[in-house]
Amino acid sequence: MALRPWNQLPIRDCAEPLVSLPASLHRLEPHPYQALGAPYGPGASPFQLRHGVLERLLAAQTALQQRHPHWCLAIFDGWRPLAVQAFMVEHTTATLCREQGVDAAVPSEALAEIQAAVGRFWAPPNADPAAPPPHSTGAAVDLTLAECSGDGPPCPLGMGSEIDAIGSVSEPDHFADLAEACTDPEQANRYRRWHDCRLALRAAMESQGFAQHPNEWWHFSWGDQLWAWTQGAPEARYGRVDGPAPP
């Protein structure tokens, strides 16, 4: 099973528990993986993180609202057990195969290309505790921004692509170069607006020490192997956690 560069780093788990997100953090519900039937197991919830990660996430929202008082963080996904990771890798691969008319049961160059594309965004469901998928540690969170100034529920802002979109459109700085090259002023302004929103999310999260996934504008972590690799830390603080806390 292919490993990421950061999987070479050792893990010294600090044994913090998973905790549920408080009401002050907006959840994007219904959760799409649960709606698909992903096997979270009894009492499990995707809206859980390690305690220290949650504290930093709350501080990131405070930092965001100091710059943008009418915005808030909107949480898509937190802790993800290994079984759900495997389910979603298979589901995403099968979906792309259907869309492109590729037989997922027959090895081919087209299938290999789809699997490689999925692999850029979905960590392999590796059962080796020395190389856990980031979300299985409870240290990674997928999130976006939302407008929260009205009387209704928070409304997610446009970020240029959906969370989990496969392709270069999901890379954090994708729209910066497009805006510079675009000759249509209206479209260029749209690209700049999306890029500015991505920058605002990144700034809020990085202000609290989170590391951003290089391929995903929505994915941030603190304390896992990816975080340690990007920060130059000698080891990760969080390894895979299998048991959920009550949601």
What are the angstrom distances between the C-alpha of 215 and each of 131, 163, 170, 172? Answer: 19, 11, 7, 7
185 burial (CB, 10 Å; 0-12 / 13-18 / 19+) is exposed
Nearest to 200 by CA among 149, 138, 147: 147
**Which are the contacts of 170, defined by CB distance < 8 A and separation ≥ 6?**
121, 161, 164, 215, 216, 217, 218
**Exposed / middle / buried, residue 32 (Cβ in 10 Å: 0-12, 13-18, 19+):** middle
216 is known as an active-site residue: yes
C-alpha span between 235 and 243 (Å, rounded): 23
Coil, strand or helix at 200? helix
The residue from 99, 147, 180, 216 that is catalytic is 216
Could you list the active site residues? 216
